[in-house]
Every structure is written in structure tokens, then in C-alpha cells.
């Protein structure tokens, strides 16, 4: 059984090529000025073209207004929009209708109670993403390299399609995949040599660890 992988926060051709070589199902671009992974719609559009037809492209935004989403969608032509802020169910539905694109809605998880909001988004968002709640004082809502207690996900209703994210790396991905049975996984800072700097060697090592974990999954 193969687990789809999203490599997020790409800024260079080398990083895109490493993600594609590893077999990424999704590649993500961050549109959030405070992030070391922030990229312009124009530059992301060029990288997205390089990956077109080989991986699905994801534009990651945080409480973006329509004007910013217009600019990103026009420049990148993404396959998905990832909403990583406090977007309401109404806002998710509005964005889906306006852009005609599938939406991945991110949730910040620290404790079991954080799953309470999730049910409202099932059937509204196309996919859910579970990330760790940012540490106190963090500037970023994601990309902090922090993991949450994955056992919390055992409280999820069965059959929910989601991406597991937050602090994943080659060292913990086996435990994450086998422990949660996550339908898909997402990594950003765990394949970086420095904040915002993807390391092709770490990307390759992450894929190797994922493939080893897949061998241990029940058929």
C-alpha cells in the first residue's frame, strides 16, 4: 500500500525535482509573508508548470481574502487550495464556489478537544489536514516542525480522509504512518537543512523512510 506524500514549502527547481523524483503526490507553495517559505505567485507558477501532470500542486494560504486568492490562482493555477488559518465552514464553501477548486482545510491539534470542530467541515472541505498547534509566540500557523500526540486521531470518526502533518521527518515517519494509518502525509521543515531551505538529500531520505514504512503496513 502506498501512502501519498505532500512536500510543502518548495521554492526552488532543485527542491521540486527532488520531490518529483521521490514520487510526491502533491507539492505545496506557501503564500504567507512571515514564512521563510513564502514565494510569489509568479515564481510558484513557474515551479508548478515544471511539476504539471506529475504531482498535484497546492497553494497554501492563511485567512486570505479574495483579492489575494485571485492573484494566486491566476499565477499558479493550483490543483488545490490549502486553507491554514481560521477559515469558517461558510468561507470554505465560498472559496470552493468562487474558484472551482478542491480545498484542503487545516486544523491545529494539541488535545482531543481540538477535533470537535472537525466534523462541521466534513463534506464542506474536500480534504482535511491535521497539523500541530503552533507553540506559544510562534509567528507561523504551520511549518513549525512540531508534532502532536498522534493517538488523539483515534478519536476521529472512521473513514475521514486526511493528511497527517506537523513535525514529520525521516526519523519519525514510520511510527507516524504505522501508528495512525494516515491516508496521506505532509512534510515541510523536516526536509530542510535550514528554515525555508529544502535539502534534496533529506527529501530523498524521507521518501526512503516512507517506502520502508509502507512495507510494514497491512496489505
- Given the rule CB under 6 A, which residues bind ligand LGQLAAA5? 8-9, 28, 30, 32, 35, 37, 60, 62, 84, 129, 131, 140-145, 165-168, 186-190
CA contacts within 13 A on the Cβ side of 56: 15
Closest CA to 8 of 167, 182, 173: 167
Please say which residue, 24 or 218, places its beta carbon nearer to ligand LGQLAAA5. Answer: 24
Least gap, CB of 166 to ligand LGQLAAA5 (angstroms): 5
Q: How far is the CB of 147 from ligand LGQLAAA5 (least distance, A)?
A: 8
Question: Smallest gap, in angstroms, from Cβ of residue 145 to ligand LGQLAAA5?
Answer: 5
58 or 73: whose CB is closer to ligand LGQLAAA5?
58
Burial group, residue 86, by CB count within 10 angstroms (0-12, 13-18, 19+): exposed
User: What's the N-to-C CA distance of the chain in angstroms?
Assistant: 6
CA angle (6, 120, 175) in 5-degree steps: 35
Nearer to ligand LGQLAAA5, 73 or 131 (CB): 131
- 199 catalytic residue (yes or no): no
- Give the SS3 label for residue 4: coil
The catalytic residues are 8, 131
Amino acid at each position: 500500500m502506498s501512502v501519498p506524500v505532500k512536500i510543502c514549502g518548495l521554492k526552488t527547481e532543485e527542491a521540486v525535482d527532488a520531490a518529483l523524483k521521490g514520487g510526491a503526490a502533491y507539492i505545496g507553495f506557501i503564500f504567507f509573508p512571515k514564512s521563510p517559505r513564502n514565494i510569489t505567485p509568479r515564481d510558484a507558477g513557474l515551479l508548478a508548470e515544471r511539476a504539471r501532470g506529475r504531482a498535484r500542486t497546492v497553494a497554501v494560504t492563511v485567512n486570505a481574502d479574495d483579492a489575494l486568492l485571485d492573484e494566486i490562482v491566476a499565477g499558479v493555477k493550483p490543483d488545490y487550495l490549502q486553507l491554514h488559518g481560521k477559515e469558517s465552514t461558510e468561507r470554505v464553501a465560498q472559496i470552493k464556489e468562487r474558484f472551482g477548486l478542491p480545498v484542503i482545510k487545516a486544523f491545529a491539534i494539541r488535545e482531543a478537544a481540538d477535533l470537535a470542530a472537525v466534523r462541521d467541515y466534513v463534506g464542506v472541505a474536500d480534504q482535511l489536514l491535521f497539523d500541530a498547534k503552533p507553540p506559544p509566540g510562534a509567528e507561523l500557523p504551520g511549518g513549525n516542525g512540531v508534532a502532536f500526540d498522534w493517538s488523539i486521531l483515534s478519536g476521529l470518526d472512521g473513514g475521514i480522509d486526511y493528511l497527517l502533518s506537523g513535525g514529520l521527518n525521516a526519523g519519525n515517519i514510520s511510527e507516524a504512518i504505522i501508528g495512525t494509518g494516515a491516508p496521506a502525509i505532509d512534510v515541510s521543515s523536516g526536509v530542510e537543512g535550514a528554515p525555508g531551505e529544502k535539502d534534496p538529500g533529506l527529501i530523498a531520505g524521507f521518501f526512503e523512510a516512507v517506502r520502508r514504512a509502507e512495507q510494514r503496513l497491512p496489505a
